[in-house]
Structure 1
Amino acid sequence: MTTLNIAAACLLDPQDRLLLVRKRGTHALMLPGGKREADESPLQALQRELWEELQLRLEASALAPLGRFRAPAANEADTWVDADIFIARLPHAVEAAAELEELAWLEPGQPHPENLAPLLRDHVLDALAGR
């Protein structure tokens, strides 16, 4: 079984909606972020990924750790993700870039879409609710 080390962010807008993304050619909605490179800390990887995917630059001080979670990967068979998750407020509107095909918003108190990634569905949403 393969494990991918990733870093991702819970990005909240002024209405407390959670930003979700869907990568090109996939079905699952997930948090923005991605795989860590060998020489990167989780925070460095996340800052790089946010720039690549959303053209969003966030200072390290804007990203608060939410936790570290492990779950089956959404888009890769026989693979798990070991994820460092951070939380931040979006300073401005963003648009999909790089491999992203769709941006979506998860509204507080609304039903969750069926196609949430396991990491988000099984761990992150509960951690967010507990904050």
Structure 2
Amino acid sequence: MSEPTFVVAAVCLRDASGLMLAVRKRGTSAFMLPGGKIEAGETPLQCALRELHEEVGLELASAEPLGHFLDDAANEPGHLVDATVFAADLAPNAPLPAPIAEIDELRWLDPAALPVDVPLAPVLVRVAAQVIAG
């Protein structure tokens, strides 16, 4: 029997220095990309942009496809995450993201030197590797 799978969309948001935004949801320990489950009638891009706004207050007009990732869910043991990930750059004059809704904490991470002092979602680790590879 296959593992239950969450179909999600997320944004790999990078600042001018190349750091990636990671969020930690309330009641969890793993940092992950901003994103969430795709709602009925919603495209993955619409979901990713909606979730970015709901979780950190940023509104983006668009983002570029980065890739598709299937890996273990960070906070739901025995589940998989089927993630469509989009890339976007934080505009120099854009407001800074802030943790809202179910987000307790955010961090800017260097994809080339991910921290080992906090748990990271497997999808975030794979996205960082792809970002480094270009």
* Same fold by TM-score greater than 0.5: yes
- Matches of 1:64 and 1:108, distance apart in 2: 18
Give the AA of the match of 1:120: L
Matched with 2:21 is 19
Q: Note the C-alpha offset of 1:109.
A: 4.1
Q: Note the C-alpha offset of 1:70.
A: 0.1
TM-aligned CA distance change 1:53 to 1:130, over 3 Å: same
Matched with 1:7 is 9
Identical positions, percent: 46
Is residue 130 of structure 1 aligned with residue 133 of structure 2?
yes
Q: Note the C-alpha offset of 1:5.
A: 0.6
Matched with 1:75 is 75
Q: Note the C-alpha offset of 1:108.
A: 5.1
Matched with 2:59 is 57
Give the AA of the match of 2:71: A
- Matches of 1:117 and 1:108, distance apart in 2: 13
How many residue pairs align between the two structures? 128
Matched with 1:31 is 33
- Matches of 2:85 and 2:128, distance apart in 1: 11
SS at match of 1:119: helix
Moved more, 35-44 or 112-121: 112-121
Q: Note the C-alpha offset of 1:111.
A: 4.4
RMSD (Å) for aligned C-alpha atoms: 1.3
Write out aligned runs for 1:84-103 (5 A): 84-91=84-91, 92=94, 93-103=96-106
8 Å contact kept, 2:111–2:132: no
Query: Where does the alignment leave 5 or more consecutive residues of structure 1 unmatched?
Result: none
Give the AA of the match of 2:100: A
Q: Note the C-alpha offset of 1:38.
A: 1.9
SS at match of 1:44: helix
